[in-house]
Amino acid sequence: MVAGVLIRTDPQKSEEVYWKLKNMEGVANIVRVFGRYDLVLMIRALDIDAAGKLVAIAAFKLAVPGGSFPLPSIPRALRVVGAIQPST
């Protein structure tokens, strides 16, 4: 399945968050956007539970010092907006 996650960041940290998330396991794509959100993160997972775990891991790494992401990188919002389960 593929799930989209909308992310708002501090403007000064958007580039840093982009590159850190881009290299995370499970990330299919990440795109910079303009408007209410700064990034759209597309994640690939086996099911909705695995997708939820990936989002939780990303949020944890962004929020915890020493979680491989510095504290100032905390996104202002992480919102899962949709998931698509391909038919088999």
Task: Provide the pLDDT for residue 81.
Answer: 55
According to DSSP, the β-strands at 77-84 and 27-32 are unpaired
pLDDT at residue 85 above 60?
A: no
Give the C-alpha distances (Å, rounded to integers) separating 25 from 5, 42, 86: 15, 12, 20
Return the CATH number at 41.
3.30.70.920
Q: What is the mean pLDDT of the chain?
A: 74
Q: If pLDDT is split at 50, 70 and 90, which confidence band does 70 have?
A: very low
Higher-scoring residue by pLDDT: 75, 52: 52
Residue 13 is part of which domain span?
Answer: 2-84
The tens digit of pLDDT for each residue in 30-62 reads 999 888 888 888 888 888 888 888 888 777 766
What is the count of structural domains for the chain?
1
pTM: 0.69
